[in-house]
Amino acid sequence: MTAEVLFDAQPLLSRLEDASLPLCKQLDISFKNPGKELKFRPLEISDYQKGYIELLSQLTKVGVVTEDAFVKQFRAMKASGVHYVFVVEDMDKDLIVGNATLAVEYKMTHSTCLRGRIEDVVVHNDYRGKHLGVLLVETLTILGKELGCYKISLDCTPDMIPYYKKFGFLEGPQVFMCQRFSD
């Protein structure tokens, strides 16, 4: 039985085979070989059962997410066609141990271009130090460029600035502001 995936990653990742992922190459890691018993792939609808929500809770407050709510949100994201959520799965444990999202926005500015945002980057506490975050962020950054994004941005805490600078992200002159309507 074929798993329901958020998107078909094969044509996207094949575009990256010739692209340079210098940090990953230096660390001898790739989306084809993320590590022993690990698999880099798009989010699947069955990942709810593989600890996906628990992984996200290591990053931020998740709240109550039932399986029905997860499936509904998954299908809405799939239908939108602008969410590229990649995960890393420990195949021995059936456990999702890494996650990152590239969300693409269609713009009228910059000659009707695309703009990308990297969100929800998290690696399971027990898998940190295996360069999975590097694999996720560098792959999504290059993928965004290949998709035609004129820029890619991300939000991070001040202590993470040096980490993201390794990927070419710079502190911009903009000030990040937000209004929260719930936790």
Quote the pTM value: 0.92
pLDDT (tens digit per residue) in 73-116: 999 999 999 999 999 999 999 999 999 999 999 999 999 999 99
The Cα 34–Cα 86 span in angstroms is 12
How many domains does the chain divide into?
1
Residue 4 lies in a domain: no
Residue 36 lies in a domain: yes
Give the residue among 61, 47, 52, 26 at the shortest CA–CA distance from 135: 26
Task: Determine the structural domain holding residue 97 and report its residue range.
Answer: 9-165
Q: What is the pLDDT of residue 172?
A: 82
Residue 182 lies in a domain: no
pLDDT (tens digit per residue) in 7-38: 999 998 888 865 578 999 999 999 999 999 99
Residue 180 lies in a domain: no
Backbone φ and ψ for 100, nearest 5 degrees, come out as -160, 150
Contact 121, 137 (CB under 8 A): yes
Mean pLDDT of 51-61: 97
Residue 172 lies in a domain: no
Residue 82 lies in a domain: yes
Residue 173 lies in a domain: no
Q: Is the pLDDT of residue 156 over 70?
A: yes
Q: In CATH, what number is assigned to the domain containing residue 83? A: 3.40.630.30
- State what percent of residues in the chain have pLDDT above 70: 97
Residue type, 74: F
Residue 171 lies in a domain: no
